[in-house]
Each structure stands twice: as structure tokens, then as C-alpha cells.
Amino acid sequence: MTRVNLVYTPRSEEEIAARVKAIEAILIEGGLMSEAGVDRFAAVYENEVGPRLGASVVARAWTDPEFKARLLADASAACHELGIGGLQGEHMIVVENTDTIHNVVVCSLCSCYPWPVLGLPPNWFKSMPYRARIIREPRLCLKEDFRLDIPQETEIRVWDSNSEIRYWVLPQRPAGTDGMGADELAALVTRDSMIGTGFPRAA
């Protein structure tokens, strides 16, 4: 008897979300996890585990010019040097914020995101309003939706991630941080600053 394995591939973001909800319900109803536990698990990977790894990469780039050059040339390879990589991070590109350029990242088709360095994508990154508006009117979107006022003389570049390439941002190092160590610098790096919808914390 021949055994056939059928693999079902969801066709849309809505289908994927529905499958996730179904799995959550099975875990909760089966007593394997509580609803609070599921929420906490998602929150940890969205706000803590992933972004901390990305922050460590940024801090290294701020303090090591040679590493920074390698990061901008081949982000996936540079992250691999630090033991960071894997699914959704096979081909990452880092774009650098400067005094004259501010970069912001979106996935206009779905929610492609560099999981190894940023963790799970926040809900707003996956929302249609963000995906549409940040491309159509990025300066206004950043100001009204994220309270990020970018000067008119600063060019805003929007980078559209996809299933093959995932972009993220190397934010500018905050002023007054010359004497800070890597751990202190990493603590200033926020998830949003690596998406381009925020700045690092002040020293």
C-alpha cells in the first residue's frame, strides 16, 4: 500500500491566521496551554527574544566599523558570525539611516519579516492600513501613526520586503553614547527603530 502525504498550503494571510487560531484553541481546550500563556508566548517572541538579537547586531555595528561594513554588504552572513540566522533570515538586507536618509520597511503583499533579528512581526506591520499608507505617504504615516517627525530635508526610503528578501534598518547611533559598552548600547535599540518606525532610545 502506498502512503501519500498531502501538504496543504494556505492561500492567504487570512487562512494562515485562521489556522493559527485553530491551533491555539486546540492547545487551550486540551489543557496544554492557557490563553494567558499563549498571549505571553507571542509577546515574548514579538518584543523580547527576536528584537534583543537584532539589538546586539546593531550595537556591534555601532562599535565595530569592519563588522558594520560586512553587515551592510551581506547582512545574513554578518549575523551568522554572531550565531544569528535561520528561517525567514536566509537573505536579509540592512539599510542604514544617516543624517540625510531615513529608511522604513514594509511588506506590501503580506507580512514578510526578518524573524531571526526582530522576532515575530507586530500586528500593525501586518495590517492593510500600514502596508498601504507607508508606501503612499510615508512621511505623514510616520508622523501621524508613529509620532515620528522626519524633517522635510531628510529623504525617506521605503523598502518592500518579500518572500526572498527581508529588509531591516540600521538606526543611527544616539548622541552621547561614546563611552557606552555593547550591552548598554543594545538596550537603546528598539524593535521599531530596526523597522524605521521609531528611533533608538536616548542615552
Is residue 112 marked as binding?
A: yes
Out of 76, 112, 141, 161, which one is annotated catalytic?
A: 112
112 is a catalytic site residue: yes
| The residue type at 93 | I
79 is a catalytic site residue: no
Burial 132-146 (b: 16+ CB within 10 A, else e): ebbeeebbebbeeeb
Is residue 111 marked as binding?
A: yes
Any residues with CB less than 8 A from the CB of 140 and at least 6 apart, and which? 133
| The residue type at 202 | A
Out of 107, 141, 161, 193, which one is annotated catalytic?
A: 107
8: Cα within 13 Å, side-chain hemisphere: 5
Q: Is 51 exposed, middle or buried (0-12, 13-18, 19+ CB in 10 A)?
A: buried
Any residues with CB less than 8 A from the CB of 27 and at least 6 apart, and which? 33, 38
Is residue 141 marked as binding?
A: no
Contacts 24+ apart (CB under 8 A), 133-136: 134/104, 134/106, 134/158, 135/106, 135/108, 135/160
Q: How far apart are CA 156 and CA 158, in angstroms?
A: 7
107 is a catalytic site residue: yes
Is residue 79 marked as binding?
A: no
- Annotated binding residues, written as ranges, equal 107, 110-112
**Which residues carry a binding-site annotation for Fe(3+)?**
107, 110-112
| Catalytic residue ranges | 107, 110-112
